[in-house]
Structure 1
Amino acid sequence: MLDIIGERLVENLSVSLPDLTRAICESSLMSLDYVPMGQIIETLPSPVLLAVSTGVPFEGEILLVIDRTLLLTATELMLGGSAKQLKEDETGEFTAIELGFGERVAAAILAELQRALSVVGSAELLLDRVETDPDSAGIVKNASLCARMKFSVAMAGHVGILEVVIPYDALEPIRPALSKIYFGNRGEDQRTWHDLISGQIERAHMDLEVVLAEEAIPIQKIMSWQPGDTIDFGIEEGEQATLVGADEPMFKVSLGKRNNGFVAVQITEKISKKEELEEDGSDN
């Protein structure tokens, strides 16, 4: 189940981080392992942003580890930059501004983790504090075993690392649900996927075509056409036409002109799929 939660978090981040940074984000789950807290602290990069969270259903704190590349890339993009001048090999401490934006990034990630956890039950996570010193962010004893999900997050040509660390003791309230096999359902849990797909659709682009007229012409006549020949379809201003998207008729439109002289169309009627099927049935 933690694998499923991790994959859902990947999908959520690919939508929420672009909303925050105005840049395309590609994330992936690199690994899910179980290691002592002490080993996690020993392998932390420097500098690093450590966000400590509390909330239900966990009994205890959970930790977000955001590396320098991910934090500075997100900060630069949120400030309106392009992150092209980011030097990934620097080791200076974070500024107060960077820490402030780091809190926003951590809060956004926690919100998406909360949504991903809905597959096993309701959750409510709150950002408690942000640290840069690993010793100050120790949420359990070094010997305590933790589940660690490591993610790769790519934005603006840079690849950062995000880790979600959940101690075993904190997982106790939802451990029975984690041991179950998830086949999916049509309940409220699917609302997350509905929202994700809706967000992607809103960002998509579609090419539209206005079909002014259709006429069957003998192939012999077409073969005799030469440059300069005129083909009269008898179309006048105010004539009805069809607006087509993805090879599907979508609207009936009326032709006209704007004040600037440009040709324009006014939507007069929506073409439903049901109407098309009825028309096809009547022809048969």
Structure 2
Amino acid sequence: YPIELEYARSEMHMQFANIATPSEIVVTTTFRVEFGESAGDLHICIPYSTFEPIREILYSPLQGDQGGPDRRWLTLLTQQIKSASVELAAELAYSRATVGELMALKVGDFIELDRMPTLVSKVDGVPIFECDYGTLGGRYGVRIREFLTQTGGSAAAGQP
């Protein structure tokens, strides 16, 4: 069923759109549209009677649909999430200084750091693992001690 759209007019205020009678049932949806710094809501309102010619198609199940989730979509979404690149960061040590102290630093100055016994690895600022750090085969790295919950607390050791 091809749809042919025709621009009739636009209305900035939804209450003045007048596309259906007050007693008519309508289907509405809102989209947030962003163009750089500008953003706005796009409201779409379609009278329910518009769907009458294709009502049987809308109510009938898809061929092969067992009433469960679409496995192809779920598989594709899972693959895309697993292949997404993220940056894992682990802060090994830290130090506090005033702006004046930083401005007075010069090449060769020594900055004392407070070393932490364990560190927290984060993805996009979100704590994910509590880790030990060290070297293996001449490379620096971290060993996961435990997974952290979404609230920042500990989950069972070795469990996601």
TM-score scaled by structure 2? 0.49
Q: Whose helix proportion is higher, 1 or 2?
A: 1
Tell me the TM-score normalized by structure 1.
0.30
The higher relative CO (CA closer than 8 Å, separation ≥ 6) is in: 1
